[in-house]
Amino acid sequence: MNFHNEKHRASFKRIEELFLQETPVSVAWSGGKDSSALIDLTLAAAASAKKKGAEPYILVTNGDTGVENPEITVYARQESEKIIGFSGKHGIHLDYYVASPTLNASWAVRIIGGRALPSFPQSNHDCAVDWKVLPMARLRKKLMKQVGDQTKQEIVTLVGTRYSESTERSIKMAQRGDSHEYPVRNKNGDLVFSAIADWDTDDVWEWIGLVRSGLQPSYSDFEDLRRIYADSGGTSCAVVSDAITEGAKKARGDSCGARTGCVTCVAVKNDKSLTAMLEGDPKRYGYMAGANKLREFIVNTQWDFGRRQCIGRTIDDDGMIAIRPDVYSPAMCLELLRYALSIDADERESSYKAGLSGPRLELVSIQALVAIDCLWSLQGMHKPFQAIKEYIDIVENGIRYAVPEIPEYPRSPMPASRYLYVGKYWDQQYGSILGLRNPILEMVNDPDSAGGCMGTRTLKNGKIVMDVETESTFDVDLEGAYLALEFEIDRMMEMHNNSKDNVGLTRGYLWWVQMGVVSLSPQQVNIHDNILQRTYFKERMGIAGPNIKREYLLSLVEQTEENSSVSEELAPADIGTTEQIDLFSMLDEEEDESPVLA
């Protein structure tokens, strides 16, 4: 290759030397300008090393949050096909993998399922951890071992970080000891090579420009990369848009690092890149307008505590639960589901009419729908199969729910926390026979029979529970979900219609796990048993279901106040929406039951 830029030449030679030494290489590719230039440089170096007799190996990893800007999802898929095609053409051994969050950590299940609040600007953005960092860590942990076992060589990971991106980035890279000259070990003991760390932004765009002008061979023409940068910045020039966007990100102190971000992202108040796309080319990007309206609705209702659940989930040492705004209320979760399903249904219809192979956008998948329905029932938020009923109404009966345009709710202090006495355990009287159990199935089950009803298992704490399906993580069997919606829908709707709003709410959850459509992680069996006991307790207390008013809860507090040794607390006005520590999406897949404080 003929290089006119000495930095380009030096980085190429250093990467080529890795391949000549038969060192396996991993590239973390996001699809942005830096990682695209890096993967292009890596492929060129691998092709050169191949001609010199080496056998290069490249592992490419990419992350998909599940709610990416749809244009980025399509772009990443198309570019990945070009990367794979280029490697095949040049005889390069390349593997490509995509890391995605677990079902339970996904946006729809996390937010609409009532597990946690969105990552608002005032909170820690643990969505980036759940949807990007942890999925990639899981994938890399698995793949790095596989590659090491196969090649008997330690893999080197190439990253596209650069010193000139920001002062903060430069300081962090210096603290880690990152180098553009050789691989260094990170805190986890992995070899990481910041191969283009000394490039500035002009060097990156020069590389891309050389490719686009045909002066440099590449896996891509980078036309879609140019378009996305230009359109998301609201200009006709990708370089100018990039400079504007990078400057805005530095001014805001964005921690996400994504240029376009997730289509549902509320970590920033205004999604300027999505707005620029919608305003600049409504014909091409107009299909994202509904999702943007939903995003704005969530932003504008952040401080409306009337949309929050007020019943705490954790019993403190004094036998109390907090009565204060927590995660979204059952009514708010239902409202969000209706909007999301309506947006999805409209997109399916419009994409079909446009002759497309499939919808460009999907906020709630079938697996997410079943998971939401299951969790609503587990937590006693709605009648059994409420989410399924909404799906039938919208998808089959044509009902639509338009996202309302409402003014931003004024920021206000957290209402005073009160405390309700419940005792040391959720169900001190009936705990041994309630929870994840079905007494009828236990009575008719024959343990010596090859078939029959579901059996039981004994947990380490001695509790007997149903022997439900278990997997490495909470999951929904896709085929089982479709079969249920095809053949069991009448029975589900009958159970829904015959149920009340405040009792028998867990029947839907038990049905899903008994049918084997929903599987739990081994850790969740005990956790869900405890949650079911809590829901049964709430039903008997009259504080379960979608219609519980805070005034009624406070009346119960007044009746039990003499039992409380905990004083009231008033959250300061400047407290934002803090995050529920979400261990459900951590590597061991355990669920956290600590309360959300805002």
For the stretch 354-389, pLDDT in tens is 999 999 999 999 999 999 999 999 999 999 999 999
Q: For the chain, what is the mean pLDDT?
A: 86
Reported as a pLDDT band with limits 50, 70 and 90, residue 234 is low
- CA gap 485, 392 in Å, rounded: 9
- Per-residue confidence (pLDDT) for residue 235, from 0 to 100: 55
Residue 482 has pLDDT above 90, yes or no: yes
- Average pLDDT score over residue span 545-573: 62
Which SS3 state, helix, strand or coil, does residue 175 take? Answer: helix
- Per-residue confidence (pLDDT) for residue 433, from 0 to 100: 66
- Per-residue confidence (pLDDT) for residue 122, from 0 to 100: 74
Between 226 and 440, the higher pLDDT residue: 226
* Of 234, 260, 285, 237, nearest in space to 30 by CA: 260
User: Which string of DSSP letters, residue by residue, matches 22-86?
Assistant: T--EEEE--SSHHHHHHHHHHHHHHHHHHHTT---EEEEEEE--SSB-HHHHHHHHHHHHHHHHH
- Per-residue confidence (pLDDT) for residue 141, from 0 to 100: 85
- Backbone CA torsion sign across 305, 306, 312, 316: positive
Residue 165 has pLDDT above 70, yes or no: yes
- Average pLDDT score over residue span 139-145: 86
- CA gap 292, 145 in Å, rounded: 41
* Of 339, 337, 331, nearest in space to 308 by CA: 331
Q: Residue 44's Cα: distance from chain center in Å?
A: 34
- Per-residue confidence (pLDDT) for residue 574, from 0 to 100: 30
CATH number of the structural domain 6-219 = 3.40.50.620
Quote the tokens at residue 26. Answer: 């991993």
Domain boundaries, the chain: 6-219, 308-585
Reported as a pLDDT band with limits 50, 70 and 90, residue 597 is very low
Residue 254 has pLDDT above 90, yes or no: no
Helix or strand holding residue 284 (H, E) = helix 282-285
- Average pLDDT score over residue span 387-400: 98
Reported as a pLDDT band with limits 50, 70 and 90, residue 245 is low
- Per-residue confidence (pLDDT) for residue 100, from 0 to 100: 94
CB burial of residue 29 (10 Å; 0-12, 13-18, 19+) = buried
- Per-residue confidence (pLDDT) for residue 373, from 0 to 100: 98
- Per-residue confidence (pLDDT) for residue 241, from 0 to 100: 47
Name the amino acid, one letter, at 508: G
What does the buried/exposed string (b/e) look like for 325-336 if buried means 16 or more CB atoms within 10 Å of the residue's CB?
A: bbbbbbbbbbbb
Which SS3 state, helix, strand or coil, does residue 288 take? Answer: helix
Quote the tokens at residue 539. Answer: 């039903």
Q: Which residues contact 543 (CB under 8 A, 6 or more apart)?
A: 311, 552, 553, 556
Which SS3 state, helix, strand or coil, does residue 401 take? Answer: coil
- The CA dihedral of 373, 374, 375, 381, to the nearest 10 degrees, is 60
pLDDT in tens, 340-353: 999 999 999 999 99
- What percent of the chain has pLDDT above 70? 86
- Average pLDDT score over residue span 196-224: 94
Phi, psi of 63 (to 5 degrees): -115, 140
Quote the tokens at residue 21. Answer: 């030494």
Instruction: Say if CB 241 and CB 230 are below 8 A apart.
Output: yes
Q: Which residues contact 378 (CB under 8 A, 6 or more apart)?
A: 506, 509, 528, 531, 532, 535
- Per-residue confidence (pLDDT) for residue 258, from 0 to 100: 44
CB burial of residue 501 (10 Å; 0-12, 13-18, 19+) = middle
Q: Which residues partner with 569 through β-bridges?
A: 417
DSSP label at residue 565: -
- Per-residue confidence (pLDDT) for residue 440, from 0 to 100: 74
DSSP label at residue 157: E
